[in-house]
Chains A and B, each alone.
Chain A
Amino acid sequence: MKFGICSFPGSNCDYDTLYVLKDLLGQDAKFIDVKNPQLLDFDCIIIPGGFSFGDYLRAGLIAAKTALGQEIYNFAQRGKLVVGICNGFQILTELKLLPGALLKNDPPKFICDAVYLRVENNSSSFTKRYSQKEVIKMPIAHSQGRYFATQETLKEIEDNSLVLLRYCGPEGEISKEFNPNGSLGNIAGIMNKEGNVFGLMPHPERACEDILSFRDGLMIWHSIIS
């Protein structure tokens, strides 16, 4: 599969993502030139984590307004697969490819931790290699990851089973206690209605090898590839 990885000024998980896709999984993966974005050849675009354009004004805003941002939008409109991780998720909400927004954490601090996640819908292109309600563990590292949407939007997301991952306890318990950043409905990752755009705050690219203590992120990549 041909993966394109968007490397914006300030992206810092781009090399981790390239390593996993190319070296670990043997896929055809390369960076996309921000100045000259050509996306047509790719099957899937990954927007990696980091602090694109210094998170100025709002995290993800400026990246969304670049020529590459516009190309990602067009790519997604053609039904192709797009995944935004962490800052990538923020960019996808700024592009309006995903509903809602990501606000400063509550409590308002940067969190770098390992969290449990429950797979809420395993019929998507991004989660089909997990079992339904499977509890997995992945790292998070963000200061603006509190998922927010209006009640109306939230209802639409829930009614259409667009939540793919929720923060939970070790037994899959969904409660405030296991919500690291104050996200509505413990939401950690959602897809769009069409099912081709996925945004998540946890880092699957940092959860693919035993040496990093996590392997549960692997099945996201295998789901996309299969």
Chain B
Amino acid sequence: MRVRIVIMPREGLLDPEARAIEEMLRQNGVEVDNLKVGKIVELELKNPDEAKLIAERFLINPVIEEFSIE
């Protein structure tokens, strides 16, 4: 089964990349706030129940990131 793991920076963490993209959009006339940049990992799993374990064990750093599974 195809599983999608969405990894986002934790709330309140300063993310210069997100700030730069947000600023670029504003400079171009887009009204925008609270933009975030994350990562998506898509994978085929025999047992989709393993996704949470895989994310926690191999993919994310809980100090700076949180994730959701789709």
Q: Which residues in A have some Cβ–Cβ distance to B below 8 Å? A: 53-54, 56-57, 61-62, 65-67
Contact = CB atoms under 8 A, between A and B. Distances in A.
Contacts of B20: 53-54, 56, 62
B16 A65 contact: no
B6 to A, nearest CB: 17
B24 A65 contact: yes
B60 to A, nearest CB: 21
In this complex, the interface size class of chain B, counting residues with CB under 8 Å from chain A, is under 10
B24 A62 contact: yes
Interface in B14-30: 16-17, 20-21, 24, 27-28
Given A54-B16, A57-B21, 5 more contacts: A53-B20, A56-B16, A56-B21, A57-B17, A65-B27
Contacts of A56: 16-17, 20-21, 37
Nearest to A9: B20
B7 to A, nearest CB: 16
Contacts of B16: 54, 56
21 contacts: A53-B20, A53-B24, A54-B16, A54-B17, A54-B20, A56-B16, A56-B17, A56-B20, A56-B21, A56-B37, A57-B17, A57-B37, A61-B24, A62-B20, A62-B21, A62-B24, A65-B24, A65-B28, A66-B24, A66-B27, A67-B27
